[in-house]
Chain A
Amino acid sequence: MPRNKLLSTTTFRLALVYLTLFMVSASALLGYLYWNTAGFLARQTEATVHAETSAFVTLLDEGGRAALVHAIITKSRDPRQNLFLLEDAKGEKLGGNLEAWPDKTPDLQGWINFNYARRTAEGDIEIQEAQAMATRLPDNMRMLVGQDIGERRRLEAQITNALAWSVAAMVLLGLAGGAIISRNVVARIDAINRTAKDIMGGELSRRIPVSGAGDEIDQLAENLNDMLDQIERLMSGMRQVTDNIAHDLRSPLNRLRNRLEVTLMKPATQEEYAQALERSILEADELLGTFNALLLIARAEAGAARDGMEWVDLSELAQDAAELYEPVADEAGLELQLDIEPDLEYRGHRELLAQMIANLLDNAIKHAGEKAGGKSVRLSVRTRGMMGAEIVVADSGPGISIEDRERVLGRFVRLEQSRNTPGSGLGLSLVNAVARLHGGDIRLEDNHPGLRVVISLARRARRRPSDVAAE
């Protein structure tokens, strides 16, 4: 992976933001640590020097010059690293362990930082750093009280060093961690991008790998895969539609054309012409019907009808459809039995749902009439589970064999035994499309004997509100 790509990833930028935030808070912590260690040492030096100075000033007040000189000389013998120097008005050293007054001007509080030469235990001379406070005394005397701060400086350097290293380690680890995490995420997003490119390149069956971690990227991959499945299904459906249109509309169109042509070929009577035209009109009407059914299916499948969703009284809808088909069933020698749960409302497309029920009844009556050995058709509408709805149309006709069940849901499929009944072969595929539009599915089952078509609709049903209030 190129570095600039890594730097430009969202994850890495996010990691950087976190790193910055982390560093700000860590720096505050380290600063506090520094103030409490190195700062503490510095404050302690100052406090000691202050205390010694004020002790000497008090001694001078109470015991006079001789007592001060004596005290300084005594203290100077102390092997600890306190430094003293007392000079008179002429600059002569009166006592102390410093050789000369440092040639530096003290700051406003009287502090002087200076270097001085010191003899070590081995007799070598070494330059040491010191911090001292200069005090002007009566009689133009001046006094310097200080401390060797070499040790302190070394300690401070060590602390600073340690802190610097931890900051460096923090930055490095943070950057590395961010890079690793984002690299991982980038690799997975790369996989998605590669798959998308492959699909755009025409490999429609490619799918995004799912790592199995169940995280957001996996969810994204799964959703995208579902979407791709849906697109592939729609596209293959579309291909099938074109194939089927070519097949099923072309031959009747051809027939229509041939009839007209043949009629024109030989002289005919007015009557014959009228007959040919009438048959042609009939055929054209059938073609249009097929065409409209195809459009409707395509619309339902594309989900374009989703805008027309409203609360529909499914019970009433089923009742009306049953009433429309009752005489037809009667004529076919069938008893239409109803088992409709009252006041069942469903959020859906009124027109398409009505047509779906009509198609189911139409189908059942057409294929399970008395001639086919059927006795009855039963339409049931009921709630199923939580807010689900189920529409079942069961007949006692010849039924459909298991092998053919999957096939009849496709477009234009008309089984051999029903070739002589009218219909475009689009009824069940429209039912299928409408069920799918409503987040449901269609199942064909054996009714022992006969066929049972079960439409399960997704959870969008409710009882009619007025009845809820009345209960």
Chain B
Amino acid sequence: MKQPLLAFNDKGIYCAQADVYLDPWRPVNNAIISHGHSDHSRWGHNNYITHHTNVPIITHRLGAINVTGKNWGETFTINGVTFSLHPAGHIIGSAQIRVEYKGEVWVFTGDYKTEDDGISVPYEVVKCNTFITENTFGLPAFKWLPQAEVMDDVNNWWAQNRAEGKASVLFGYTLGKAQRLLKYLDPNIGKIYTHGAVENMTQVLRQFVDFPETERVTSETKKENFPGSIILAPPSAHGSTWIRKMAPYVTGSASGWMAFRGARRRRAIDKGFVMSDHCDWQGLLESINATGAEKIICTHGYSDIFSAYLREQGYDARTEKTQYEGDEGEVETKADAETDEQV
């Protein structure tokens, strides 16, 4: 039997012909990395290849690694297999990985979204034979509103809290969501503070995007400065001692999961904003259709349900187990969450 171009083994998605892994979850020799989230870019590989805007992100997280940056669409060939990276629109530097061998094309999405968020290079349709897609929000219950509407809500919420003399603590994961929120916060409302983990990552990304001014919360930050301000923090800061000195405060969270009332209530968040860096149901279906792929492989998220639906629609679709968490806003490694001891 012919060996598939990409196979799923206990280390990751493996291209045997090129001896290369895509987003491996165990240490390997050669790894092509889709984006900087910790479940996709792990520690311990000998060689990393990724988009050049992701290089400062993963070196910030992983320290001294042996990494090569590539441009969008730049092809590189390993033992006859041609690889290239294409925008995935998930976060800054996030790429889909295109793999071609003897005319057969596979695309691995990593994580992606179809809406242009204005800070990541927008998602690009890449034609292929086999499309390996995430399904984090692969249920018809997920429908995102346009970013501008959600951000209006966020800014109105902040202004309202300010009018009531309260601080607004807004949770979003450290890499990606926090900067997406930051980009569209209205600095005319008040001052923008950041949790240390968010500030560090934002500093890394300022070379790519023009963000409003931020100030890191430190032990020196005066309590009186918080009322009326907004504080961007990772979800793990919720309920920590760190947050206490911001009282009186109101909490908000920006995540796709906030579509569910139960998700917000379980986390005891005051206000949920439905905003995701993944595709919603329609986004997934439309991008799958646009790739023209005959075969669809569903990785993380509601993969079983989603692939069953695709089969019903006539696709050759299946599920493969991976170790990508796919839990937006909930993937908080120790490096992300400096308040870890309080979680």
Question: Do these two chains interact?
Answer: no
A binding-site residues for B, Cβ under 8 Å: none
B binding-site residues for A, Cβ under 8 Å: none
